[in-house]
A and B are shown apart, each in its own frame.
Chain A
Amino acid sequence: MSSRRELIFNHAILTLFAVIALFPMLGVAVKALQLPGLDVSTFSTAWRDGHFATYLRNSVIVTSVTVVVSGVLSIMAGFALGTMRFRGASVLFLLFLAGLTIPTETIVVPLYFDLRSAGLDNSYAGLILPQVAMSVAFGTFWMRAFFRSVPPSLLEAARIDGASSWTTLWRVLVPVGKPAILTMVLLTSMWTWNEFLLPLVIVNSDEGLRTAPLGLSFFQGAHKTDYPLLMAGALIIAAPVIAVYVFLQRQFIAGMLSGAIKE
């Protein structure tokens, strides 16, 4: 068996699949930029007609608030479940774990009617709070796993120094846990940014509150088969996530693949 031939063959197959994976994206770029002429006018048209400045701003607001709030709550809950033993802790953990398997489709309908009764439909709060709840399920699961992996000696040392649990958490454990926290932040950012069904249902009348994916769906409704224009829009909403992914792909991949691994 010629291993050199095998090597070339393997790289050829991988290259083929890489091309397949990139092909629709490259098509998007070629169409949107009208390559090889590099005409960005499609972009400016899409940007203007699609109101993407507003939609991207909304997505930035919703995503950053969701990620910060759910991150802090997850760190605290994960700390409790990962380092302390208290009555009902295992039930609590299973409760959060259950949230990982509940599809958005299952809760979105009752959520909409209850938020509407509370006057929270078509509001930032209506967009953010449910997504905090969804992110907290994963975040708590993720941070608990990290806190369990912390050597007990570190906790002991902090105790002997007289640190309270609060100080131990934020001054000792969080600095050590930066990589785990980074992964959590990346994943919840991506999920919140890409979320479509919830904004579609919650933001049903106030155009000024549409998030980027929701904006793209309305943009598509208005420009049915104008593919260069639509693809410029698709590229605009996907670009921020792709940009972060390219630099931090290791964290993205490791995090997304661990979501299904239960103990």
Chain B
Amino acid sequence: MTTVERQKSRKTGEKPPGTRAERRAGGRVRTRAPGESRNIGWLYALPALLVYGAFLLWPLARGVQFSFYNWDGLGTATWAGLSNYTTTWTDPALRGSFGHLLILVVFYSILPCCIAFVLVAAMSRTKIRGMTFFRTVLFLPQVIAMVAVAVAWQWVYSADGPVNTVLGWLHDLGLPDWRHGWLGDFTFALPAVGLVGTWVEIGLAFVLFMAGVQRIPRELYEAARMDGAGPVREFFAVTLPGLRRELAVALTLTTTMSIRNFDLIYMATGGGPGNATKVPAYEVYNRTFNTGEVGLGCAIGITMAVLLFAATTAIGRLVEGKGA
């Protein structure tokens, strides 16, 4: 942060040269080893910057470039202007994929945070034994490859997997037959995939909130209890305000996961049945490699990056009140 301030002051101090020189000299004394060029920092950062520039920034720039062309990946590309971006919003399947993304945000982000809040609200009044164990177990889904998670959940949802087995028992008890081929069902495939996301993210939200609760001063809880606050009042008066920062982090991470969920969709449903579980992350791949619309694939990819950036910025502002 100080670097930004210094740059600003250098800019404003441009006119009187004396001030500028003094500032520079002052900076030198504070920050630089004697006899060492201040630009040696660039030398240290250069190798990282080269790889990063060549394999991340350059593809990003090329992605922007590709998105303005129609190209099938083999022949010659033709200028398309902004048409790939308009297609992203007008093509029914693509517009649908962004709609699916919104629904998945509820499953990946909002639902896990709500569940974790309920859990934490219950826990905040007592000391938990074996917290390390619970934290390790609940966080475990975060570290497993989504490809492996997808295989496990395909079994959970399969024709004679555990979900349908339990529903079969309920049917035997006289309830209606709720068994489905969950991932192959036009209505249920998207929520079924979404629940996998919920399952993965609950642990993340819980661990974050639990760590946050421990930083809330005990006296606040004692004061609330002296005032006769029940668990619900206590939650809204003490716990929730104390967890703003953690909530912002949880929403940021889980929203990111909901946008970057290619692995799960590709493995579990392949976007199907029909278009039922197509999401932008999947459409980037699908449009590029299956239907030969490389420019459109890039436009979707760029749109995703913009959405992700907008979402994380908005979450930071809304929840933490930054820049408001």
Contact = CB atoms under 8 A, between A and B. Distances in A.
Interface of A: 3, 6-7, 9-11, 13-14, 17-18, 20-25, 27-28, 31, 69-70, 73-74, 76-77, 79-81, 84-90, 92-93, 95-96, 99, 101-111, 113-114, 129-130, 132-134, 136-137, 139-140, 159, 164-165, 169, 190, 193-194, 196-197, 200-201, 212-213, 216-217, 220, 225, 227, 230-231, 233-235, 237-238, 241-242, 245-246, 249, 252-253, 256-257, 259-263
Instruction: Provide the main secondary structure of the chain A interface.
Output: helix
A233 B167 CA distance: 28
- Of B54, B143, B252, B308, most buried by chain A (CB within 10 Å of CB) is B143
A7 B123 CA distance: 8
B145 A106 contact: no
B130 to A, nearest CB: 8
Contacts of A263: 1
- Of A79, A104, A216, A234, most buried by chain B (CB within 10 Å of CB) is A234
Contact of B155 (A11, A133, A227): A227
Contacts of A101: 256, 305, 308-309, 312
A80 B45 contact: yes
Contacts of B114: none
Contact of B128 (A10, A69, A86): A10
B297 interface: yes
Contact of A80 (B41, B199, B301): B41
B203 interface: yes
A194 B40 CA distance: 36
A43 B153 CA distance: 19
Given A27-B156, A105-B281, A7 B36 contact: no
A107 B305 CA distance: 10
B209 to A, nearest CB: 11
Interface in B267-324: 267, 280-281, 284-285, 288-289, 294, 297-298, 301-302, 304-305, 308-309, 312, 316
- Of B42, B162, B266, most buried by chain A (CB within 10 Å of CB) is B42
Nearest to A224: B154
A103 B281 contact: yes
A163 B284 CA distance: 51
Contacts of A79: 44
Interface string B187-205: 0000000000001001110
B264 to A, nearest CB: 10
Given A21-B202, A25-B152, A106 B304 contact: yes
Given A99-B52, A101-B305, 10 more contacts: A11-B129, A17-B134, A23-B156, A85-B3, A105-B280, A109-B301, A197-B285, A227-B154, A231-B152, A249-B136
B113 interface: no
A13 B122 contact: yes
- Of A106, A108, A165, A238, most buried by chain B (CB within 10 Å of CB) is A106
A193 B65 CA distance: 30
Given A21-B141, A21-B199, A86-B42, A230 B305 contact: no
Given A18-B134, A25-B152, A109-B63, A225 B119 contact: no
B175 interface: no
B139 A253 contact: yes
B44 A77 contact: yes
A90 B62 CA distance: 25
Given A84-B41, A105-B262, A133 B142 contact: no
| 6 tightest A-B CB contacts, nearest first | A133-B55, A86-B41, A80-B44, A110-B62, A77-B48, A234-B148
B282 to A, nearest CB: 9
Contact of A103 (B6, B136, B249, B259): B259
A17 B119 contact: yes
Nearest to A213: B147
A216 B60 contact: no
Contacts of B21: none
A17 B262 contact: no
B80 interface: no
A237 B59 contact: no
A133 B122 contact: no
Contacts of B51: 69-70, 73, 129, 132-133, 136
Contacts of A241: 143-145
A129 B260 CA distance: 21
B119 A197 contact: no
25 contacts: A17-B134, A21-B140, A77-B48, A77-B49, A79-B44, A80-B40, A80-B44, A84-B31, A84-B32, A85-B38, A99-B56, A107-B63, A110-B63, A111-B59, A113-B294, A130-B55, A140-B48, A159-B33, A194-B146, A200-B266, A213-B145, A216-B151, A230-B155, A234-B152, A238-B144
